[in-house]
Amino acid sequence: MLDRDIIQSRGFTNVVEDGRVTGFAFRLRNPNYRGTSASLLDGIDVIVDGEKVPDHVPLWTVQGRTLTLDELRASTDLRWQLDETVTITVPAPGGLTAGVHDVEVVVYLRRPYFPPAVSRSAFDARATRVIVPPGVDGPLRFGVSTYSYSADLYTSMTLEDVFADIADMGATGIEILGEGNVPGYPTPPTEWIDRWFALVAQYGLTPTNFGSWVDTAMWADRDLTAQEGAAQVAQDLRLAHRLGFTSIRPKFGVTSFDLDPHPIWRETVLRSLDLATELGVVICPEIHSPTPIKHPVTQGYLDLIEETGSPSFKLLIDTGIFQTAPVDDGHEGVSTEDGKRPAFLEPLAVPVADLAEILPHVHLIQTKFFEIDDQLNDLHVPWAPIVSTLRDAGWSGWLSSEYEGRREAYRGRDQVRRQLALLRTLLT
């Protein structure tokens, strides 16, 4: 699906030719209510960060052919359809810097069915868009959780749009929520599974982590038994394996505001380890605010890792635990009796040094965040020491972007691009 905005979020990138950055490009949807012959296009004003590009400079790519404006006006066999984008390329040695840019355009289109004096119509648009620097080879790999697209996914975006978004920003992994993204869960139709693998191949993404739940309070009158919990985990292990994932995050029901997991967690995991090993899928309980690293819950997981010695049980770290400022983003459906901010939105400010101690037992890191501003400053999470800690330790694995801020339309996809630009900048 196309963005409602004329200036699309996908396709805003620097242009690289023969290893050199020669300019930048962006995509536009047709601002008119019908498709049009390309010969009726009559120019574009481009202003980036307040600087206007000379009128003769932009190039147009329409239906796969790149033309100057004069060539466009003379064309006879090209159209700009309503369901297609055009790419505007601006030659500019060095391109644009990594980060957020203010982009303004005025698209000029001749409409012969209007009186001649007003037939040259001007469609203007403005947006902030993000240049994500290219990735570099190394032990840290970048993915995105579909949770980042909550509210947009299935309303203004399809699952394929999420794939396209992730690939467009240069990330290579996708994390999903089993009960949120798999139609017919826990038994998706074969046609959907075939489509899933087609998307994986088309966009070059690697399935990373499969989010699952063990709802210990499934029924109001009794809790799950360990046997029932293990059956739930086994079901998700098999489904995750079938879809190509290498880990699951079982979210056990909790018994306190400290997120103490239900007591069946330990026996459930023990009953599941053989199957996990057989399938090559790692079980990763999540360390999530307000539970710090140095806490009985985390220690219980570490004790089981040491006791079993199994490579199929490791930790998943949610970086919300390093949050240094409060978040008031209005989590839907969450309230407390006293009206105060829920504990998991308070700044826990776990020392990053604590992370270094447990990194050998960490399988995946969800790079939770809430807001990154126009200067690529994260307002809540201190990324510089986190990235330094990972590099110094030589940790290897997936960093999976998980946006959990406000849910205005398209905000999540913009914020994820900002985070990826920030993290890659820190790695250069």
Contact between 212 and 250 under an 8 Å Cβ cutoff? The reply is yes
Residues 325 and 346: their CA atoms lie apart, in Å, by 7
* DSSP code string of 225-239: PHHHHHHHHHHHHHH
For 106, 296, 375, the CA distances from 424, given in Å and listed in that order, are 32, 34, 14
Among residues 101, 241, 262, 288, which one is catalytic?
288
Backbone angles phi, psi at 72, to 5 degrees: -65, -45
Backbone angles phi, psi at 107, to 5 degrees: -95, 125
- Pairing type for strands 362-369 and 397-403 reads parallel
How would you class 135 by CB atoms within 10 Å of its CB: exposed for 0-12, middle for 13-18, buried for 19 or more? middle
Residues 216 and 255: their CA atoms lie apart, in Å, by 10
Tokens 């100057």 sit on residue: 68
Greatest C-alpha distance within the chain: 82
Catalytic, 288? Answer yes
Angle at Cα 15 formed by Cα 418 and Cα 162, nearest 5°?
Answer: 45
Residues 129 and 410: their CA atoms lie apart, in Å, by 12
Name which of 366, 365, 383, 369 is nearest 416 in CA terms. 369
Residues 359 and 51: their CA atoms lie apart, in Å, by 46
Catalytic residues: 288
